Amino acid sequence: MEVKPITHHLFFVLLTATVRTQVNPEMCRYPLGMTGGQIQDEDISASSQWSESTAAKFGRLDFDNGDGDGAWCPDIMSEPDGLKEYLQVDLRSLHFITLVGTQGRHADGMGNEFAQRYRIKYSRNGSNWVGWHDRKGRQIIEGNRNAYDVVLKDLEPPIIARYVRFMPVTDHSMIVCMRVELYGCEWLDGLMSYSIPDGHLMIYRGLDVYFNDSVYDGTTAERLTKGLGQLTDGTWGLDDFLHSHIYGMWPGYDYVGWNNKSFPKGYVEMIFEFDHVRNFTSMKVHCNNMFSRGVRMFRQATCYFRSGSDWETEPVTFRPTVDRVSQIARFVAVPLGDRTASTIKCRFHFSDLWLLFSEVAFQSGKNNSAWVSFLSVPWDDPTHKVDDSNTRILIGCLVAIIAILLAIIVIILWRQVWQKMLEKASRRMLDDELTARLAVQTQAFSFHHSSLSSEGGSTSNSTYERIFPLCADYQEPSRLIRKLPEFAQSTEHLGRKEKTQSGGSEGAPHYAEADIISLQESSDSGTDSITPVNINLFAGTDSSMKEFPRHKLTFKEKLGEGQFGEVHLCEAEGMQDFLLEDLSIEGNKESPLLVAVKTLREDANKNARNDFLKEIRIMSRLRDPNIVRLLAVCVDTDPLCMITEYMENGDLNQFLNTTYRANNIASTYYIKLIGMAVQIASGMKYLSSLNFVHRDLATRNCLVGKNYTIKIADFGMSRNLYRGDYYRIQGRAVLPIRWMSWESILLGKFTMASDVWAFGVTLWEILTLCKEQPYSQLSDEQVIENTGEFFRDQGKQVYLPKPPYCPDRIYHDLMLSCWRRNAKQRPSFQEIHTLLMDISNI
């Protein structure tokens, strides 16, 4: 029977306890400073950003940047392969990272962007990047399910790195935003890489036992080089090498092992590279010693040292006593005699058929604290009591946990107090400014509430004498309007979308009803140099979106003119064959297909050109019966074109306006109108399932096909989710304010809930047959003032009135609920769709 002297146990337990004080993955889980701020802004970078307020530095977990965005969001939609966009954190030194946390962007209810899945890449030197994968080779990490909750993921295996990149992965054209934290501790070993011969296969009683370094992150040719792996993953093997700490892994998983038959010189050579020159005291190697199966600890270690280019001639040799009694796996300490080096080469001599290592660690320089960091237990002090050290560890853990909990509680309380204070302050500020009188009394205007219905609002004749607010962000729309020289004369033409007929003069607004043109509107709009568009921008389009031969398009007639240029009806020869199965649309295969071709105007500037390509990319990913389909593109040469399905009856605004007469709302028409609304709700339901904000929903942006089929179009604004500022600075800011929620106008927040608001207005347009513009009695400035009333919520806000003959249920249960002040209380498109279906089935 095998004898296991108690002293052996004691010694190994002691070693175990002390070794754990270096890097113990279970303890090494401290937040590294994204939330706490220890990581500086300049150490957080990204591939791109949507806007200043969603820059990389805001990608901190549980952190709000004050203006509500509080997350990093990449500039363009993340590529499906998740390889392009990233948020990078520089930890300034090597760290052992065991855990990552991610969170989305909610912006206090205004946002809903998060990364459902992501990858991680890391680097120790900033130039060699490695894609992290788990022990089974999976690279994709399941991320967030909503914009609020923090999701923590254990990194198994852990990472040793200085730089870490979070790379969102999306399936669809989903916009993602991320806030992140890294957890771990400093990697004091300083080991940058080790080079070893790869491990061998042992056949033990017919069982394959693999001793390869399965998580090695360097190059794996003849030798493993330039990486770290199982020997530094903080997990050491069990006494019985057939079993593993880690569930579901193969026999031998915990060890890297070599058979001495493959080493005629009788030793295995390992080279260790460090971050800089260090003074080495010792090295510890965790060895298996199951001699009953031919495995034994090494009998000799000879280590060579190098600080510059040459190896020092004098090695250090150490011969441990080979244990022939106990089969317990153990750390063997190799004294390194305070030698100075940045590279160490050690030769481990076999004392049996197999040599199995699971961990290697170094003690160097003045970093002795690394060994004793946690509880100051001297690792090589055999006189130290086991109980003592364990108790200390336990107490240390408890103290650390309590400290962390206290810190979390304090942070939460502190955040809450601040949030309340900020809320109060901003409200007070808004109130003050709202009550300021108009500077120019002549601009005061009268407005009779009686002309419009007001939900619970006052019916008295109230005169708006308040100037609209606030800080630069808030006041921009009204300020711009007030400053506009055209504004004085423009009110009478506000009301119709400028269509082709206007000739689309350069300076004219796109949405006459709400156009706000920045004063900075560059005189350069026509002279901007046109930079060739990098067609890689287009790389994210669906693979089915092919280049259509331009010469096969035959012009038939002009359909209209939009933001980017003219839209033409064309015959597309051979389009049916050109389309893939899932795209093919009804029609005679022989005859040319009628299509709508939207062309980018020739004098378009660089921004418009990029936006046009982005609209293509967005549309190419959308597939829904109620979304206009992009069929093909012509982007190889100028002018850029997108080819969409042709909608025979043009836009819904024109269609309703010309097809129906106002006094003609019979119940049959109502069913048809509700049917149209159902289709729009269905298309929006699809968009919201992709987390996609349209930003410009209105009847003018819906197209009508055969049999009253309605499809949502015009994704020209949708991509600008965070880019309102950009437009204001660089050129025209076209804001459809009569369709916009109060928070979109005042705070620049565009969310699914603001799309719901616009849907309410669109429904109102439909039920009034587009005979008048929403809030037609109000000037643009008054519309913006009215949004101020929505913010103040004192019952003075004006709602669009109930359309004639509109059932109460639609007005009260649906329209008014879309215009609720609290975005969270507005219905979702799913609910809207269900309700409308319900109504249409009656």
DSSP structure class, residue 828: P
Q: 99, 295, 713, 721: which one contacts ligand AMP (CB under 6 A)?
A: 713
Q: Which of residues 600-629 bind ligand AMP (CB under 6 A)?
A: 628
Range 579-587 contact pairs with CB under 8 angstroms and sequence separation of 24 or more = 579/631, 579/632, 580/544, 582/544, 582/623, 583/544, 583/629, 583/631, 585/629, 585/631, 585/645
Q: Which residue is nearest to ligand AMP (CB)?
A: 562
Tell me which of 64, 189, 615, 714 binds ligand AMP, using CB under 6 A. 714
Please, which residues have CB within 8 angstroms of residue 264's CB and are 6 or more apart in sequence?
A: none
Q: How far is the CB of 75 from ligand AMP (least distance, A)?
A: 24
Residues 6+ apart with CB under 8 A from 417: none
Binding part of the chain for ligand AMP, among 24-32, 59-67, 400-408, 642-650 by CB under 6 A, reads: 642-650
Q: Is residue 644 involved in binding ligand AMP (CB under 6 A)?
A: yes
Name which position in 511, 646, 757, 764 contacts ligand AMP (CB under 6 A). 646
Residues 457 to 486 in contact with ligand AMP, rule: CB under 6 A = none
* Cβ at position 488, least distance to ligand AMP in Å: 28
Establish whether 338 is a catalytic residue. no
Written as six digits, the tokens of 677 are 């609304």
Q: How far is the CB of 700 from ligand AMP (least distance, A)?
A: 6
Residue by residue, DSSP assigns 239-261 as SSTTS-SSTTPPTTTT-EEEEGG
- Which residues have C-beta within 8 Å of that of residue 419, sequence separation ≥ 6? none
**From the CB of 772, what's the least distance to ligand AMP, in Å?**
19
- Angstrom distances, CA of residue 224 to CA of 132, 199, 216, 270, 298: 17, 10, 8, 10, 21
Binding-residue pattern over the window 680 to 709 for ligand AMP, x denoting contact by CB under 6 A: -----------------------x------
Spatial distance between the Cα atoms of 345 and 309, rounded to a whole number of angstroms = 13
Does residue 651 bind ligand AMP (CB under 6 A)? Answer: yes
Closest CB 708 distance from ligand AMP, rounded Å: 15
Closest to ligand AMP by CB, 315 vs 560, is: 560
The 3-state secondary structure of 265-313, one letter per residue? CCEEEEEEEEEEEEEEEEEEEEECCCHHHCECCCCEEEEEEECCCCECC
d(CA 614, CA 540): 10
Q: Which is nearer to ligand AMP, 474 or 715 (CB)?
A: 715
| Count of residues near ligand AMP by CB under 6 A | 17
- Please identify, using beta-carbon distances, which residue of 131 and 650 lies nearer to ligand AMP: 650
Q: Are 164 and 182 spatial neighbours (Cβ–Cβ below 8 Å)?
A: yes
739 is a site residue for ligand AMP (CB under 6 A): no
Using CB under 6 A, pick the residue from 97, 256, 270, 647 that binds ligand AMP: 647
Segment lying near ligand AMP (by CB under 6 A), choices 640-648, 721-729, 777-785, 798-806: 640-648
814 interacts with ligand AMP by CB under 6 A: no
CB-wise, 598 or 792, nearer to ligand AMP?
598
Q: 9 in helix, strand or coil?
A: helix
- Quote the least distance from Cβ 644 to ligand AMP, whole Å: 4
Do residues 748 and 727 make contact, with C-beta atoms less than 8 angstroms apart? Answer: no
C-beta of 17 vs 600, nearer to ligand AMP: 600
Which one, of 86, 87, 9, 74, lies nearest residue 43 by Cα? 87
Judged by CB under 6 A, the chain residues 581 through 600 that form the site for ligand AMP are 596, 598
| 130: DSSP letter | E
| Per-residue interface string for the shown chain with ligand AMP, residues 556-575, x marking contact by CB under 6 A | ---xxxxx---x--------
Q: Which is nearer to ligand AMP, 189 or 651 (CB)?
A: 651
Q: Among the options 696, 714, 755, 780, which is catalytic?
A: 696
By C-beta, is 124 or 601 nearer to ligand AMP? 601
Give the list of residues 6+ apart from residue 11 with CB closer than 8 angstroms, or none.
Answer: 382
Binding segment for ligand AMP (CB under 6 A), chosen from 243-251, 487-495, 646-654, 671-679, is 646-654
Q: Cβ of residue 598: shortest distance to ligand AMP, in angstroms?
A: 6
In angstroms and rounded to an integer, the radius of gyration of the C-alpha atoms of the chain is 34
Cα separation, 268 vs 350, whole angstroms:
8
Stretch that binds ligand AMP, among 163-171, 311-319, 647-655, 669-677 (CB under 6 A): 647-655
Reduced to 3 states (helix: H, G, I; strand: E, B; else coil), residue 81 is: coil
Binding-site member from 36, 197, 457, 650 for ligand AMP (CB under 6 A): 650
Nearer to ligand AMP, 172 or 496 (CB): 496
DSSP 3-state of 747: helix
The reply to whether omega before 639 is within 30° of 0 (cis) is yes
Stretch of 13-21, 517-525, 554-562, 676-684 contacting ligand AMP, by CB under 6 A: 554-562
Under rule CB under 6 A, residue 635 binds ligand AMP: no
> Residue 235 or residue 599: which is nearer to ligand AMP going by CB?
599
Q: What count of other Cβ atoms lies within 10 Å of the Cβ of residue 460?
A: 10
Q: Is the peptide bond before 157 cis (omega within 30 degrees of 0)?
A: yes
Helix (H, G, I), strand (E, B) or coil at 585: coil
Q: Which stretch binds ligand AMP (CB under 6 A): 191-199, 386-394, 553-561, 691-699?
A: 553-561
Q: What's the CA gap between 575 and 567, in Å, rounded?
A: 18
Reading the block at residue 598, the tokens are 């939207």
Is the separation of the CB atoms in 213 and 199 below 8 Å?
yes
Nearest to ligand AMP of 131, 560 (CB atom): 560
**480: enclosing H helix or E strand:** helix 472-483
Dist. CA 305–CA 720, nearest whole Å: 58
Interacting residue ranges for ligand AMP, rule: CB under 6 A: 559-563, 567, 596, 598, 628, 644, 646-647, 650-651, 703, 713-714
Q: Which residues are catalytic?
A: 696
